[in-house]
Amino acid sequence: MKIAVIGTGYVGLVTGTCFAESGHAVTCVDVDPRKVELLRGGGVPIYEPGLEELVHRNVREARLAFTTQAAEAVPGADVVFIAVGTPPGETGEADLSHVLGAARDVGRALTGPCVVVNKSTVPVGSAEKVRAALAEVTRHPFDVVSNPEFLKEGAAIDDFMRPDRVVVGVESERARALMAELYAPFVRAEQPVLFMDLRSAELTKYAANAMLATRISFMNEIATLCDRLGADVDAVRRGVGSDRRIGHPFLHPGAGYGGSCFPKDVRALLTTARQIGLDFDLLRAVERVNERQKRSLVEKALRHFGGSVSGRTFGLWGLAFKPRTDDMREAPALTIVEALVGGGARVRAHDPVAREVARRLLPPAVELVEEPYQAAEGADALLLVTEWNEFRQPDFARLRALMRGDLLLDGRNCWDAEKARAAGFVYQGIGRATGVARAGS
């Protein structure tokens, strides 16, 4: 098939590249000429494991192309994906201006029948707005499809190539048949393509992310209980997760969730509920818990240092909101750094891939270093914020020799508490009571 993808952000670039990898002719559109030029050379503007190699190969083999003009990509396309941003507005609602603008660009460029697929995360009812925007500018027949993405940053290629499900909202048999053919190479191992109506597909995306955010926040509340009751959250998590009705994924407590999906989608779903007169108390609590959780490591530091961090030096390991990405959107590290610097502390931080992104987001006073142990030199405390693999087994003796103080704050419960204490540290995790050994993973 001939495919056009409008937008080369995280979702659009992964989508276009993976379809090209499966043999389709794909042209991606972006308004930024510098980004397009980089992509034409096989480079990528974001960090995602395996993506640069796929982009380079498919550009070289002429299956994947990039342009700044929808008029060059859309004519003759069998299917056009809209994968542009939907940033949150001031009251939490998703801003559809980019989506509707892209739809009009697509409509003006159509030369015949086409299936237009909304891949962006959009509120319920957006497909109707996309249809209206297209109808304003074209007389060619078209179908509108909702096909939300479920990609995990750091594992997006594998998620696309081997999905656990593909959700597709359709209104016509023609669109259903085309989407079934398009995704056939990716669902041979019995993963289902779930066809449904447009509104249900749109809501499925928000419901899934809200559920995952709720699981994380619930476990963070349990971790707070463990801290105060002297229990070990690792043991509790294993006991709860062993229930087959619940399972282990997304039951790990930590310093809060961030990124481009969970915070934005929780707020957008809350806004949708409010607009129809529903007070979604559960999700409102999820959002409050997460904002509080982002301050948990700072609060532990304040208690340790007698209520003030002024004049103290803090080392941070990890800045991205999760490992295997350079994405710092709403990352817990931003809240932590803001609180520490605002309290008069000095911060020295390291992240394996997010340093350049961090330079644009963190205060100039924050020192970004190239090696993790540099962040610990002379520090009164070391905070683990993002659980990159290279941070999981530190040399505690080396850390103790480098640091001025003895406080380790493990925001992801990755470190061996007994080994840390044996090396002379005051160790504090999330929900791991002092003196309680880790219960295993």
**CATH code of residue 365:** 3.40.50.720
Which of 195, 227, 246 is the endpoint of a domain?
195
Q: Is 414 a catalytic residue?
A: no
Q: Is 278 left (phi over 0), alpha (psi -120 to 50) or beta?
A: beta
Q: Do residues 344 and 284 share a domain?
A: yes
Residue 68 has a pLDDT of: 97
Asked whether residue 26 is domain-assigned, the answer is yes
Asked whether residue 438 is domain-assigned, the answer is no
Q: Do residues 121 and 71 share a domain?
A: yes
What SS3 class is residue 347? strand
Residue 440 has a pLDDT of: 40
Residue 221 has pLDDT above 50, yes or no: yes
Q: Do residues 45 and 182 share a domain?
A: yes
Residue 263 has a pLDDT of: 93
What SS3 class is residue 386? coil
Asked whether residue 202 is domain-assigned, the answer is no
pLDDT tier for residue 189 given thresholds of 50, 70 and 90: low
- How far, in whole angstroms, is CA 52 from its chain's centroid? 19
Residue 351 has a pLDDT of: 98
Tell me the percentage of the chain whose pLDDT exceeds 70. Answer: 98
Residue 111 has a pLDDT of: 96
Average pLDDT on 102-121 reads 97
CB neighbourhood size of 7 (10 A): 24
- How far, in whole angstroms, is CA 236 from its chain's centroid? 26
Q: Do residues 164 and 242 share a domain?
A: no
Residue 437 has pLDDT above 50, yes or no: no
pLDDT tens per residue, range 227-279: 999 999 999 999 999 999 999 999 999 999 999 899 999 999 999 999 999 99
CB neighbourhood size of 382 (10 A): 27
Lowest mean pLDDT across 136-140, 353-357, 435-439: 435-439
Residue 398 has pLDDT above 60, yes or no: yes
Q: Do residues 272 and 415 share a domain?
A: yes
Q: Do residues 107 and 247 share a domain?
A: no
pTM score, whole prediction: 0.90
Domain that holds residue 284: 211-428
Residue of 28, 114, 261, 414 marked active site: 261
Q: Do residues 233 and 378 share a domain?
A: yes
Residue 130 has a pLDDT of: 98
Token pair belonging to 297 = 């490591």
Asked whether residue 421 is domain-assigned, the answer is yes
Q: Is the dihedral of CA 366, 371, 372, 373 positive or negative?
A: negative
Which of 195, 219, 248 is the endpoint of a domain?
195
Q: Do residues 187 and 246 share a domain?
A: no
Q: Do residues 27 and 174 share a domain?
A: yes
The C-alpha angle 71, 74, 78, rounded to 5 degrees, equals 165
Asked whether residue 6 is domain-assigned, the answer is yes
| Euclidean distance between CA atoms 422 and 92, whole angstroms | 47
Which residues have C-beta within 8 Å of that of residue 22, sequence separation ≥ 6? 185, 186
Q: Do residues 21 and 122 share a domain?
A: yes
The per-residue DSSP string of 164-192 comes to S-EEEE-SSHHHHHHHHHHHGGG-TTSPP
Average pLDDT on 381-387 reads 98
Q: Do residues 259 and 314 share a domain?
A: yes
Q: In the predicted model, what is the mean pLDDT of the chain?
A: 95
Residue 90 has a pLDDT of: 77
Asked whether residue 205 is domain-assigned, the answer is no
Nearest Cα to 421, choosing from 397, 386, 392? 397
Which of 165, 195, 225 is the endpoint of a domain?
195
Q: Do residues 85 and 225 share a domain?
A: no
Asked whether residue 415 is domain-assigned, the answer is yes
Indicate the number of domains in the chain: 2
Asked whether residue 436 is domain-assigned, the answer is no
| Euclidean distance between CA atoms 193 and 123, whole angstroms | 21
Residue 433 has a pLDDT of: 73
